[in-house]
Amino acid sequence: MRAVLGAGDTKLKVEQLSFYYGKNQALKDVSFEIPERRITAIIGPSGCGKSTLLRVFNRMYDLIPSARAGGKVLLDGEDVVTTRKLLELRQKVGMVFQRPSPFPMSIRDNVAFAPRLLGWSSSRVKEVVRQSLERAALWDEVNDRLEAPATSLSGGQQQRLAIARCLAVSPEVILMDEPCSALDPVATLKIEDLMAELMRDYTIVIVTHNMQQAARVSDYTAFMLMNPEGRYGELIEFAPTANLFNQPQDQRTEAYITGRFG
């Protein structure tokens, strides 16, 4: 059920989160709060653990046997790290990847795939396909060729299809892992416009190595860095985007956003 949270209230509360790949620590003591129906960007140089952090939020790391998380990530008060309701969690927290990975089937079936497997009625699936494609700003481009293979779409269209696919299972949070890094500027702009649109109904967390993108689209920004001694990622600063870019509190943040390293 839709939470009763107002826009801006805390949706995801990260508390003292640490993360390990086997013996290697990848994150240490990350704490911050992601607000409901806002766009939160996570930025930082390669290897700072920003993708790892994102993959904790929907337990994508479960695929890696040696991976282990400590601390808490509270989603509407329930701990993501220890929850046993993994499938519900992943429906609630959708994810869009760097590569759109279209399923090798028609455009319609890509969106309908999960709803059908979840056993929804065919009329409901039909409705969801249309709604999701509309919300992903793809309906007008594909409604006359829903049976065409998804691989026939352009890269930008494929990425919007991936978003539609994710919307189809009614998530509340959408995680985006560098969703535009393989796209040209025009397609990137379309995705960014779409994010602004989706923000009204969804909490969005985007990992990007493109600082300009973070500044353009996000309301809040988290800046992460790899600790040079411990080789683990840590959160340096978290603030409303305008504040972080205009008056960074930490020297390292300032150095990064002014392009002195990273």
Partner 1 sequence: MNRNVRRQFASSIWLGVMYLLTVLALIPLGLVLWFTVSKGLPSVLHPEFFTNSFRPFGIPGGGIAHAIVGTAILVGLASLMAIPIGILGGVYVAEYAVDPWASWVRLASDVLVGTPSIAIGLFAYALVVVPVHHFSGIAGSIALAILMLPIVIRTTEGAVALIPNGLRESGLALGLPRWRVSLQLILPTAAPGVITGALLAVARASGETAPLLFTSLGNTLFKVDPTQAMQALPLTIYQYALLPYKSLQDQAWGAALVLVVMVLGINLLSRWVLRRQIRLAGQL
In the complex, least distance from residue 8 CB atom to partner 1, rounded to whole angstroms:
26
Applying CB under 8 A, among 49, 71, 94, 179 the residue interacting with partner 1 is 94
In the complex, least distance from residue 117 CB atom to partner 1, rounded to whole angstroms:
6
Residue 35 lies near partner 1 (rule: CB under 8 A)? no
Q: Which H or E element spans position 201?
A: none
Nearer to partner 1 among residue 118 and residue 242 (C-beta): 118
Q: Which residues are bridge partners to 22 per DSSP?
A: none
Are the C-beta atoms of 57 and 51 separated by less than 8 Å? Answer: no
Nearer to partner 1 among residue 91 and residue 221 (C-beta): 91
In the shown chain, the binding pattern of residues 166 to 185 toward partner 1, with x for contact by CB under 8 A and - for none, equals x-xx----------------
In the shown chain, the binding pattern of residues 120 to 159 toward partner 1, with x for contact by CB under 8 A and - for none, equals -------------------------------x--------
Q: Which stretch binds partner 1 (CB under 8 A): 39-47, 87-95, 212-220, 229-237?
A: 87-95
In the complex, least distance from residue 111 CB atom to partner 1, rounded to whole angstroms:
10
| Contact set for partner 1, span 54-83 (CB under 8 A) | 58, 60, 63, 65
Q: Which residues are bridge partners to 222 per DSSP?
A: 42, 238
Applying CB under 8 A, among 165, 199, 232, 238 the residue interacting with partner 1 is 165
Which tokens hold the place of 116?
Answer: 């059908």
Which CB contacts under 8 angstroms, 24+ apart, belong to 130-137? Answer: 131/167, 132/164, 132/165, 132/167, 132/168, 133/107, 133/161, 133/164, 135/164, 135/167, 135/197, 135/198, 136/160, 136/161, 136/163, 136/164, 136/167, 136/194, 137/190, 137/193, 137/194, 137/197
Nearer to partner 1 among residue 36 and residue 177 (C-beta): 177
Rounded distance between C-alpha atoms, residue 17 and residue 4, angstroms: 26
What pairing do the DSSP bridges indicate for beta strands 173-177 and 93-96? parallel
- The torsion region of residue 99 among left (phi > 0), alpha (psi -120 to 50) and beta comes to beta
In the complex, least distance from residue 212 CB atom to partner 1, rounded to whole angstroms:
26
In the complex, least distance from residue 48 CB atom to partner 1, rounded to whole angstroms:
21
Residues engaged in binding partner 1 (CB under 8 A): 58, 60, 63, 65, 87-92, 94-95, 97, 99, 101-104, 113-114, 117-118, 151, 162, 165-166, 168-169
